[in-house]
Amino acid sequence: MGENNSANSYKEDRFETLLNNAGAARVIARSVEGTLGPKGLDVMMVDNFGDVVVTNDGVTILKLMDVSHPVAQMIINAARAQQSEVGDGTTTAVIIAGALIAEGAEKVLKGVPVTRIITGIKLGIEKALALLETKTLPVTSLEDQMLHNIALIAGRGYDDLAGMVIAGAKKMGFDRLSDQDYKFPDAVIAKELAENKVISGILINRLPISKDMPKAITEANILVVDDALKPDETEAQALRTEAGFSHYLEARERFITNMRKLPELGINVVIASGAIDDMGEHILSEAGILAIQRVSGREIERVCSYTGARRIRRNVLNRDNENLKNYLGAAQQVIADEKLEHTYILCGKGKEWVTLLIGAATEEVVDERERMAKDSAASVQASIKGGIVPGGGAIEVWTANQLDAWAGEHSGMESYGILCVKEALLKPFYCMAANAGFNPLEKLGEVCEAQKQGQSSCFSFDCESGKIIDMLDAGVADPALVKAYAFKAAGEVAAAVLRINGVIKMQSDNTDLNINSQD
């Protein structure tokens, strides 16, 4: 009798954990459902100090949410990975993940073994990815009108942003955008009161350290120091000794000598990741050198790539002049813009780079426009790398119908997991239809019938009129890479959550210390 009670208690605990986790996933998914699609609305995020962020960017909402549940955090981490990898599609990934977990939990509660559900989900995701690949169309030219449409859709209908993104893409070129190491969204920078510009160059979010330094340099020879520019430090205790004080004076003299030989090398721009010593600032100013300090690591890397410079530590300055020349970069112009508080580097001799400078009236609007432009740039680059598929939820509906038929071919319980994937893939379509003011089930029936009659994956509904249209003919498409990564991320996080059999709070280090002290 005691054993039966223990088994029942274990079963209840297991189901309680499952329901609790599914509930957390559902809450996270619901927080972004209303933002999906062209008719999606914004969410206002407010912190304890009254600071406000208004956005409909999924990953921004998730990053700023006050979340403590571990499963919710797992889903947010999956969305962040999606953003980092392909730059868009986070809302879709979260909604599919939440639906997968909910569908899987429902099947488990009905008696289907969770291991079979997980296996079925994996099979369903793999099949969905294979089906997606069969409907992917390559993008072979930057002149393709579909690229502008994709930029416009990802940029939430702002034609000025889409135009800038496409102009920037054309300057970068097809090959560079296809480079796995290059991230086009990094070219987007937003500033208050700035004018929208596509700049053939890079922008550093700093000004020269002294008003006495030149504001513009032509034929720039650039030294990049990934370090502070100051004499080597001497410990306070060592300064009390004669040898220590002598070492301090030698270090200072060596630093001054190194600073004074920079103009001899033709260097007229110095960029440092750390602070520049007052003496160094004075010497550089006297020599007419434009110097910028405390530049971020990402900007340092960008400067090196664009100008051909090789970053150095400050001790490399002890080397002879001929050796140091090998580390210099070059650019046609370096210009400080005091109004916008940044510095341009134009026409560098290294790899091509463009900067998409986005402007707006207020800080809140600037941040949102930057997010939209980054999403737009990411979608364009993803389309170039991996092709496009019909948008407007069409590809998800078609894939779900194929999975429905495929699940019938499996006699085992894995078919229940495949059906979970089928239902989850329909969830973004339901959200888009509801956000546009239509009955989701009614629209799903119409779209399924149109796809069946036309034997095409391209049909979905127009969010304005509700009419069933061919998405590709209407110029509505999505990057295949974004969809594929969303499917994979959702499947992985759902399998991980459904596999959780219980939650146990870990001991803290303090608890261990207390136990040891009692012993």
E strand map for 4-148: 43-46, 52-55
Dump pLDDT digits (tens) for 406-464: 998 887 899 999 999 999 999 999 999 999 999 999 999 999 999 999 999 999 999 99
Contact between 371 and 158 (Cβ < 8 Å): no
Burial class (CB in 10 A: 0-12, 13-18, 19+), 69: middle
Cα separation, 378 vs 385, in Å, equals 10
Phi and psi based region of residue 465 (left: phi greater than 0; alpha: psi -120 to 50; beta: remaining): alpha
pLDDT over 90 at 275, yes or no: yes
pLDDT over 70 at 273, yes or no: yes
Dump pLDDT digits (tens) for 302-351: 999 999 999 999 999 999 888 999 999 999 999 999 988 999 999 999 99
Cα separation, 188 vs 130, in Å, equals 33
Dump pLDDT digits (tens) for 198-237: 999 999 999 999 999 999 999 999 999 999 999 877 676 7
Which residues face 76 on adjacent strands?
Answer: none
pLDDT over 60 at 288, yes or no: yes
Residue 238 is predicted with a pLDDT of 65
Tokens read off for 152: 């416009």
Dump pLDDT digits (tens) for 181-192: 899 999 999 888
Contact between 43 and 134 (Cβ < 8 Å): no
Residue 52 is predicted with a pLDDT of 79
Cα separation, 321 vs 351, in Å, equals 25
Dump pLDDT digits (tens) for 130-155: 999 999 999 999 999 999 999 999 98
Cα separation, 112 vs 414, in Å, equals 9
Phi, psi of 143 (to 5 degrees): -85, -5
For the chain, domain boundaries:
2-137+388-429+479-498, 201-353
Cα separation, 443 vs 352, in Å, equals 47
Dihedral sign, Cα of residue 492, residue 497, residue 498, residue 504: positive
Residue 412 DSSP SS3: coil
pLDDT over 60 at 514, yes or no: no
Residue 7 is predicted with a pLDDT of 45
Residue 13 is predicted with a pLDDT of 66
Dump pLDDT digits (tens) for 191-207: 888 888 999 999 999 99
Which residues face 276 on adjacent strands?
Answer: 229
pLDDT over 90 at 128, yes or no: yes
- Report the candidate in 196, 407, 224, 189 with the shortest Cα–Cα distance to residue 327: 224
pLDDT over 70 at 508, yes or no: no
Phi, psi of 317 (to 5 degrees): -65, -15
Contact between 395 and 96 (Cβ < 8 Å): no
- CATH superfamily of the domain spanning 201-353: GroEL (3.50.7.10)
Residue 133 is predicted with a pLDDT of 96
Residue 517 is predicted with a pLDDT of 40
- Report the candidate in 229, 212, 194 with the shortest Cα–Cα distance to residue 286: 212
Least trusted range by pLDDT, from 185-194, 270-279, 288-297, 428-437:
185-194
Cα separation, 115 vs 123, in Å, equals 12
- CATH superfamily of the domain spanning 2-137+388-429+479-498: GroEL-like equatorial domain (1.10.560.10)
Residue 12 is predicted with a pLDDT of 47
Neighbour count for residue 36 (Cβ, 10 Å): 25
Residue 239 is predicted with a pLDDT of 62
Q: CA-CA distances (angstroms) from residue 456 to 401, 433, 452?
A: 12, 20, 7
Phi, psi of 168 (to 5 degrees): -65, -40
Mean pLDDT of 490-515: 73
Tokens read off for 498: 């459904």
Residue 510 is predicted with a pLDDT of 53
Stretch (H or E) spanning 388: strand 388-390
